[in-house]
Amino acid sequence: MSRLYGPQHRELQDHFASRAMADRIEAIAVKPEIDDAARAFIESRDMFFLSTVDHNGRPTVSYKGG
Protein backbone atom coordinates (compact mmCIF):
# COMPACT_ATOMS: atom_id res chain seq x y z
CA MET A 1 0.00 0.00 0.00
CA SER A 2 1.33 3.38 -0.99
CA ARG A 3 1.39 6.27 1.47
CA LEU A 4 1.76 8.79 -1.34
CA TYR A 5 -0.06 7.48 -4.40
CA GLY A 6 -3.73 6.64 -4.83
CA PRO A 7 -5.33 4.20 -7.28
CA GLN A 8 -5.60 6.85 -10.01
CA HIS A 9 -1.87 7.58 -9.71
CA ARG A 10 -1.00 3.88 -9.83
CA GLU A 11 -3.11 3.42 -12.94
CA LEU A 12 -1.15 6.13 -14.75
CA GLN A 13 2.17 4.81 -13.45
CA ASP A 14 1.32 1.36 -14.78
CA HIS A 15 0.19 2.81 -18.12
CA PHE A 16 3.44 4.76 -18.54
CA ALA A 17 5.69 2.12 -16.93
CA SER A 18 6.80 4.53 -14.20
CA ARG A 19 5.70 2.66 -11.06
CA ALA A 20 9.26 1.64 -10.13
CA MET A 21 10.41 5.26 -10.34
CA ALA A 22 7.40 6.42 -8.30
CA ASP A 23 8.12 3.77 -5.66
CA ARG A 24 11.72 4.98 -5.40
CA ILE A 25 10.59 8.60 -5.02
CA GLU A 26 8.18 7.53 -2.29
CA ALA A 27 10.89 5.56 -0.48
CA ILE A 28 13.18 8.60 -0.47
CA ALA A 29 10.69 11.42 0.09
CA VAL A 30 8.00 10.05 2.41
CA LYS A 31 8.99 9.93 6.05
CA PRO A 32 6.60 9.15 8.91
CA GLU A 33 8.80 11.14 11.29
CA ILE A 34 11.78 13.47 11.22
CA ASP A 35 15.00 11.47 11.58
CA ASP A 36 18.29 12.69 13.08
CA ALA A 37 19.76 13.76 9.73
CA ALA A 38 16.65 15.75 8.79
CA ARG A 39 16.52 17.29 12.25
CA ALA A 40 20.15 18.44 12.01
CA PHE A 41 19.52 19.93 8.58
CA ILE A 42 16.34 21.72 9.71
CA GLU A 43 18.07 23.12 12.80
CA SER A 44 20.82 24.56 10.58
CA ARG A 45 18.29 26.59 8.51
CA ASP A 46 16.61 29.91 9.24
CA MET A 47 13.36 28.60 7.76
CA PHE A 48 11.87 25.62 5.95
CA PHE A 49 8.60 24.38 4.48
CA LEU A 50 6.88 21.35 5.98
CA SER A 51 4.60 19.30 3.76
CA THR A 52 2.14 16.80 5.17
CA VAL A 53 -0.66 14.64 3.82
CA ASP A 54 -3.77 13.85 5.86
CA HIS A 55 -5.57 10.51 6.05
CA ASN A 56 -7.65 11.47 2.98
CA GLY A 57 -4.55 12.21 0.91
CA ARG A 58 -4.99 15.99 1.03
CA PRO A 59 -1.63 17.79 1.15
CA THR A 60 -0.69 20.92 3.00
CA VAL A 61 2.52 22.93 3.04
CA SER A 62 3.40 25.37 5.80
CA TYR A 63 6.23 27.81 6.34
CA LYS A 64 8.26 27.30 9.50
CA GLY A 65 10.77 29.89 10.57
CA GLY A 66 11.46 33.07 12.31
For residue 1, is it within any domain?
no
CA distance 11 to 30: 20
**pLDDT value, residue 54:** 81
For residue 49, is it within any domain?
yes
**pLDDT value, residue 3:** 81
For residue 2, is it within any domain?
no
Q: What is the pLDDT along the chain (66 residues), one digit of tens a residue?
A: 888 888 999 999 999 999 999 999 999 988 888 999 989 999 999 999 988 888 777 889 999 987
CA distance 57 to 23: 17
For residue 57, is it within any domain?
yes
Which residues make Cβ contacts (< 8 Å) with residue 52, sequence separation at least 6?
A: 59, 60
How far does Cα 20 stand from its chain's mean position? 16
**pLDDT value, residue 11:** 96
Domain that holds residue 60: 7-65
* Domain count for the chain: 1
**pLDDT value, residue 66:** 77
CA distance 15 to 9: 10
